[in-house]
Amino acid sequence: MKGNLATQAVIIIWTMIVRWVVWPLTYAVRLVSDRVKEQVDARPVVRDLTILLAAERRRFGDCVVFFCSSAGEYEQAKPVIDRLVVGGDTFCHVFFFSVSGSKFLRARKDPVSWSMSPPDDAFLWGSLFAALRPSKTFVVRHELWPAFLWSAAQWGKVLIINAVVPSLWGRQGKWQEKINLGIKSWLFTFADLVCVVAQSDQDFFERWLRIPASKILISGDTKFDRVIERSRQKRLTVADQRELFRTRWRPAGCDLLLIGGSVHLPDIELMAGALSHKDLARVKILLVPHDISSGNVARIFERIRQLNFSCELLSEIENAEFEFTGEHPRVIIADEMGRLSELYGVADFAWVGGAVHGKIHNVLEPSAWGLPVSSGTNFQNSQEAVALHKAGLLFTAPDAQTLKTHWAGLLGDVAARGENTRLFAESLAGATTRVIDAITNNFPNER
């Protein structure tokens, strides 16, 4: 059994705290919070899950486990999963912490084995790992749970991929930061290899978490590979969608399509302020809200109408097979989950939401589709957004007038600017190959 007696004692104490304090409190909050109830109720019955996984595992020579926080981390894991299962003798199983990951997978219908994670209890994880018997466990980015990591280390190699400097680094109190660094440093001792995105990440992990340079690989980010791969795969299937959105949906005088990806109401207010100018009257708008709950979509729909834009829901338009009985709306709202990636493929240029009031969402997908990209000014949380901005390929707008001026100047050169963005995105690919090469050379089927 790996780990000294002190480590084992810490894991047992942690497990007891989770089992007798954290989980009962969480279950109590479940009674008054629908969000917590959804998360709690999604947890598996470990005994039943163990039986199912053991039966599936026996069909394969090897097993690799992935721990993903939610949908975004799964997308980062997917290129690695695809490479590992090519031979047909490796069983890959994904554990999700957040129920949003399971919703995403159901919407996408990806044929991958997955389940929600149990509470971080060493005995529960021990049962699951005994059923799976993995040779390797991948943790995507930051899902570092003590009992999970300790249990994984009993069976095989533990690899952290796409590791980056924590987003709160430098923004906490001195003692809080010191405690957090101490905990993270200990958690990373369970890892056999840490794949970081950039040199600055390696510098942080070496200096502040005291990870030996021999255990760190600068691999880049696998999500670049996933986004590029997905856009290439979808180009043929998107051709039909493009015809519908570009030729069947024809608001008067509009010949260019702007997509607002992962937008919130503050994004929509800023976009509407720019698009109300006559210089941009030729632009029709496809909005894909970050939150596609019926209540939020209804609020967005009503606000767009108040801003004097004609509007319809994508679900209703598709049900009518893009046959418009009256005037074509200038705005369409996508009200179904899992559509954003393919919808980027039908547009001419993009606005990426979140950065007006909070944190920017994914700029990689519109970049991979070759779209000029704009956003609000709060983009520093995303390394790829920072890189895109530094390359002069992400325009950030502090107000509607600035955005109007930028978009008006963009309209005559959309294709060329989009091609520059696509080439930049493709230059960032290759992380998956570096990760696979590293585990092949350093951990060839080790148990």
Q: Could you report the per-residue pLDDT of 13-28, keeping only the tens digit for each?
A: 999 999 999 999 999 9
Quote the pLDDT of residue 142. Answer: 82
Are 418 and 388 spatial neighbours (Cβ–Cβ below 8 Å)?
no
- 281 with 339, same domain: the answer is yes
Residue 392 within a domain? yes
Q: Which stretch of DSSP H or E encloses residue 194?
A: strand 193-196
- 368 with 248, same domain: the answer is yes
- The DSSP bridge partners found for residue 288 are 261
- 179 with 283, same domain: the answer is no
- 190 with 332, same domain: the answer is no
Residue 343 within a domain? yes
Question: What is the sign, positive or negative, of the torsion defined by CA atoms of 275, 296, 294, 289?
Answer: positive
Residue 40 within a domain? no
| pLDDT class of 3 with cuts at 50, 70, 90 | low
- 155 with 184, same domain: the answer is yes
The CATH number given to whatever domain includes residue 231 is 3.40.50.2000
Q: Could you report the per-residue pLDDT of 178-228, keeping only the tens digit for each?
A: 999 999 999 999 999 999 998 999 999 999 999 999 999 999 999 889 888
Residue 387 within a domain? yes
Residue 17 within a domain? no
Is residue 73 predicted with pLDDT exceeding 70? yes
Question: What is the sign, positive or negative, of the torsion defined by CA atoms of 200, 201, 205, 208?
Answer: positive
- What tokens does 289 get? 């809200």
Q: Could you report the per-residue pLDDT of 279-295, keeping only the tens digit for each?
A: 999 999 999 999 999 99
Residues with Cβ < 8 Å from 376, sequence gap 6 or more?
A: 266, 267, 270, 354, 355, 356, 357, 360, 396, 397, 398
- 85 with 135, same domain: the answer is yes
Are 358 and 274 spatial neighbours (Cβ–Cβ below 8 Å)?
no
Q: Distance between CA 260 and CA 70 in Å, rounded?
A: 22
Our CA angle for 233, 388, 337, nearest 5°, is 45
List the single range of 164-168, 193-197, 248-252, 300-304 with lowest mean pLDDT.
164-168
Is residue 447 predicted with pLDDT exceeding 50? no
The CATH number given to whatever domain includes residue 83 is 3.40.50.11720
Domain hosting residue 296, numbered range: 227-427
Find, among 231, 235, 215, the residue nearest to 223 by Cα.
Answer: 231
- 56 with 96, same domain: the answer is yes
Quote the pLDDT of residue 168. Answer: 67
Q: Distance between CA 372 and CA 362 in Å, rounded?
A: 14
* pLDDT, average across residues 120-135: 97
Report which of residues 37 and 109 the model is more confident about: 37
- 307 with 349, same domain: the answer is yes
The whole-chain average pLDDT of the chain stands at 92
Residue 7 within a domain? no
Residue 49 within a domain? yes
Quote the pLDDT of residue 227. Answer: 86
| pLDDT class of 325 with cuts at 50, 70, 90 | confident
Q: Could you report the per-residue pLDDT of 51-69, keeping only the tens digit for each?
A: 999 999 999 999 999 999 9
Are 251 and 275 spatial neighbours (Cβ–Cβ below 8 Å)?
no
- Specify the number of domains making up the chain: 2
Question: What is the sign, positive or negative, of the torsion defined by CA atoms of 361, 218, 372, 277?
Answer: positive
| pLDDT class of 239 with cuts at 50, 70, 90 | confident
Q: Could you report the per-residue pLDDT of 128-145, keeping only the tens digit for each?
A: 999 999 999 999 988 899
Residues 38-52: b if buried by 16+ CB within 10 A, e if exposed: ebbebbbebeebbee
Residue 22 within a domain? no
Burial class (CB in 10 A: 0-12, 13-18, 19+), 370: buried
Quote the pLDDT of residue 431. Answer: 94
- 391 with 345, same domain: the answer is yes
- 421 with 434, same domain: the answer is no
- 193 with 247, same domain: the answer is no
- 374 with 299, same domain: the answer is yes
Q: What are the C-alpha distances in Å from 82 to residues 52, 189, 197, 338, 426?
A: 22, 28, 20, 20, 19
Q: Distance between CA 370 and CA 341 in Å, rounded?
A: 12
Backbone φ and ψ for 18, nearest 5 degrees, come out as -60, -45
Q: Distance between CA 121 and CA 151 in Å, rounded?
A: 10
The edge-to-edge listing of strands for the beta sheet with 193-196 is 113-116, 90-96, 62-68, 136-140, 157-163, 193-196, 216-218
Is residue 446 predicted with pLDDT exceeding 80? no
Quote the pLDDT of residue 2. Answer: 58
How many other CB atoms are found less than 10 A from the CB of residue 34?
8
DSSP 3-state helix, strand, coil percentages of the chain (rounded to 5)?
Answer: 55, 15, 30
